């Protein structure tokens, strides 16, 4: 009976794996990163639960305030407005995306489409500027740093070089050495990824479904590609460098540029290329357009002459007092539609600008894989701008329906002789419910193709660099 002889590649993988496992410093570093990720996940899960409880409480309280109006002028009630609250995305536990910088509350009122308000970042102090710690930060910034420290010395330094020469002398090719060490380190990363995946799944038990696991799996796969690319580049730098210090500097510089500077500079440059209007400039542009049209509050506005004529003709009446409906209510309805159309156009333009910025920032993924990972991960977690826009669109439909129901009540029930008109506004709007639905996985998958391709290209590029570095190693040997 003969024992199976392991191939050189398998031997190298095993040797590198043991070397990694024996390194006390790396074990400690890995454990610290895992502990920090777990802590951040736990904290994020608690936070999500707290926010969801608060959302339910606020929804009930808001409903009570709306009901407390009793009999009120319906148009006045439309101005008083309602508040709606954005549900937390379960996978925000893993990647909060831009959640902290978007308000989770939206005020809905007549004539206006407000931006969401009450951002988690509002009302802070200097400490807040140094940001909170999230699992995404651990996975996207700290893990690559750990990779740098774990892999910079794999080929650099006298001891590592001597070992490599011995292995080459024993018959292994430099490419096999490179692939073997790569596979061993990648296996360690895979283990970390699996642990993070398990923790994330445990932190999101209430959301368990096939679609949830598919999104989580894709997020983890994206992180796996990102880490692999980082590992490949670090190994190439290690093999390329003359000394371990040069390898450390090279890999650290790569980390600083790709994980710290580029992700910060790319959105900034994209904004400089496609400037976002200030809230005041946006409102001024909308108001300017609205003011060009007739004033919906004033039936005496001469610009309503044509509308008045058409209405009288429609109802075969000679004077607005003879109409079977309330003319002011009809004007409210008409005005609301006009302002909603104007707002929709401007909001569309605003979000087109955001999308153009996002495309430009994504183009920066040629320089940094993190610029591909971030939008990919946050879109799968439904914590990106598209997910927010999806929520805003549903809220706008609800706002429009509510306001027009109130206006319709005036149109149908207010009699010309009534000096003051009041109606049970809660009863009018009772049938209109707001139940926002998150983006379905199928809707967001097309947006993940380009970032996934960019990450795959990075892995391919890293393998190419490794191949070139292996050749250099061969030449040196």
Answer positive or negative: Cα dihedral of 377, 371, 231, 131: negative
Tokens coding 403:
């306001």
- Show the CA angle centred on residue 196, arms to residues 194 and 200, nearest 5°: 115
CB nearer to other proteins: pick between 297 and 309: 297
309-348 positions binding other proteins, by CB under 8 A: none
CA-to-CA dists, residue 39 to 5, 6, 112, 141, 195, angstroms: 44, 40, 42, 16, 13
CB of 89 to other proteins, least distance (A): 14
Binding piece for other proteins, criterion CB under 8 A, among 183-191, 233-241, 260-268, 311-319: 260-268
193-252 positions binding other proteins, by CB under 8 A: 244-245, 248-249, 252
Measuring CA to CA, which residue among 227, 178, 183 is closest to residue 13? Answer: 183
Binding piece for other proteins, criterion CB under 8 A, among 126-134, 336-344, 444-452, 458-466: 126-134
- Show the CA angle centred on residue 281, arms to residues 275 and 287, nearest 5°: 135
The label of the residue with tokens 């701008």 reads 385
CB of 286 to other proteins, least distance (A): 12
Out of 271, 295, 396, 401, name the contact with other proteins by CB under 8 A.
271
Measuring CA to CA, which residue among 112, 48, 16 is closest to residue 340? Answer: 112
Q: Is 263 in the site for other proteins (CB under 8 A)?
A: yes
Out of 18, 122, 242, 345, name the contact with other proteins by CB under 8 A.
122
CB of 453 to other proteins, least distance (A): 20
Q: Is 410 in the site for other proteins (CB under 8 A)?
A: no
CB nearer to other proteins: pick between 196 and 385: 385
CB nearer to other proteins: pick between 179 and 361: 361
Measuring CA to CA, which residue among 13, 89, 84 is closest to residue 51? Answer: 89
154-193 positions binding other proteins, by CB under 8 A: 157
294, 304 contact by CB (below 8 A): yes
369-398 positions binding other proteins, by CB under 8 A: 385, 388
CB nearer to other proteins: pick between 139 and 459: 139
Out of 10, 49, 119, 467, name the contact with other proteins by CB under 8 A.
119
Out of 178, 199, 266, 381, name the contact with other proteins by CB under 8 A.
266
Note the Cα 268 to chain centre separation in Å. 17
CB of 378 to other proteins, least distance (A): 9
Out of 9, 11, 36, 190, name the contact with other proteins by CB under 8 A.
36
DSSP per-residue string spanning 341-388: HHHHHHHHHHHHHHHHHHHHHHHGGGT-THHHHHHHHHHHTT-SHHHH
Q: Is 272 in the site for other proteins (CB under 8 A)?
A: yes
The label of the residue with tokens 């207010």 reads 414
Out of 9, 11, 38, 120, name the contact with other proteins by CB under 8 A.
120
Q: Is 114 in the site for other proteins (CB under 8 A)?
A: yes
Contacts for 262 with CB less than 8 Å, ≥ 6 apart: 364, 367, 368, 370, 371
CA-to-CA dists, residue 12 to 146, 164, 477, angstroms: 22, 10, 17
Q: Is 62 in the site for other proteins (CB under 8 A)?
A: yes
Q: Is 357 in the site for other proteins (CB under 8 A)?
A: yes
235, 186 contact by CB (below 8 A): no
3-state helix, strand, coil in the chain (%, to 5): 75, 5, 25
CB of 444 to other proteins, least distance (A): 16
CB nearer to other proteins: pick between 14 and 79: 79
Out of 30, 74, 90, 103, name the contact with other proteins by CB under 8 A.
103
Q: Is 277 in the site for other proteins (CB under 8 A)?
A: yes
Measuring CA to CA, which residue among 452, 385, 52 is closest to residue 220? Answer: 452
């Amino acid at each position: 009976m003969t024992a199976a002889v392991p191939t050189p590649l398998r031997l190298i993988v095993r040797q590198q794996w043991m070397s990694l496992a024996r390194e006390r410093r790396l074990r400690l570093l890995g454990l610290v990163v895992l502990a920090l990720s777990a802590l951040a996940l736990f904290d994020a899960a608690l936070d999500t639960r707290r926010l969801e409880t608060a959302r339910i409480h606020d929804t009930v309280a808001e409903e009570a305030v709306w009901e407390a109006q009793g009999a009120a002028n319906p148009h006045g009630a439309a101005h008083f407005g309602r508040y709606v609250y954005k549900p937390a995305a379960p996978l925000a536990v893993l990647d909060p995306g831009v959640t902290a910088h978007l308000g989770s509350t939206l005020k809905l009122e007549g004539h206006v489409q407000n931006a969401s308000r009450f951002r988690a970042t509002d009302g802070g102090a200097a400490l807040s500027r140094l940001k909170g710690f999230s699992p995404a930060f651990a996975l996207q910034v700290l893990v690559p740093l750990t990779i740098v420290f774990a892999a910079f010395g794999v080929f650099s330094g006298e001891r590592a070089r001597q070992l490599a020469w011995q292995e080459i002398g024993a018959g292994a090719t430099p490419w096999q050495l490179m692939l073997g060490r790569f596979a061993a380190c990648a296996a360690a990363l895979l283990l970390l990824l699996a642990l993070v995946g398990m923790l994330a799944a445990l932190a999101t038990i209430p959301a368990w479904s096939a679609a949830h696991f598919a999104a989580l799996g894709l997020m983890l796969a994206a992180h796996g590609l990102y880490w692999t690319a980082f590992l490949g580049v670090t190994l190439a730098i290690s093999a390329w460098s003359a000394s371990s210090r040069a390898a450390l500097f090279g890999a650290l510089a790569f980390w600083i540029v790709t994980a710290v500077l580029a992700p910060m500079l790319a959105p900034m440059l994209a904004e400089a290329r496609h400037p976002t209007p200030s809230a005041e400039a946006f409102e001024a542009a909308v108001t300017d357009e609205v003011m060009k049209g007739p004033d919906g509050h004033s039936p005496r506005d001469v610009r309503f002459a044509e509308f008045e004529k058409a209405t009288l003709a429609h109802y075969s009446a000679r004077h607005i007092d003879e109409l079977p409906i309330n003319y002011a209510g009809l004007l409210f309805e008409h005005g609301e539609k006009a302002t909603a159309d104007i707002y929709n156009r401007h909001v569309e333009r605003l979000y087109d600008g955001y999308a153009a910025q996002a495309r430009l920032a994504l183009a920066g993924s040629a320089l940094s894989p993190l610029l591909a990972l971030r939008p990919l991960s946050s879109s799968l977690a439904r914590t990106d701008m598209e997910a927010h826009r999806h929520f805003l669109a549903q809220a706008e439909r609800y706002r429009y329906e509510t306001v027009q129901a109130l206006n319709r009540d005036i149109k149908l029930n207010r009699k010309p002789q009534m000096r003051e008109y009041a109606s049970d506004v809660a009863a009018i709007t009772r049938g209109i419910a707001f139940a926002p639905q998150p983006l379905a996985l199928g809707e967001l998958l097309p947006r993940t193709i380009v970032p996934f391709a960019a990450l795959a290209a990075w892995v391919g590029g890293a393998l190419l660099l490794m191949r070139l570095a292996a050749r250099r190693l061969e030449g040196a040997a």
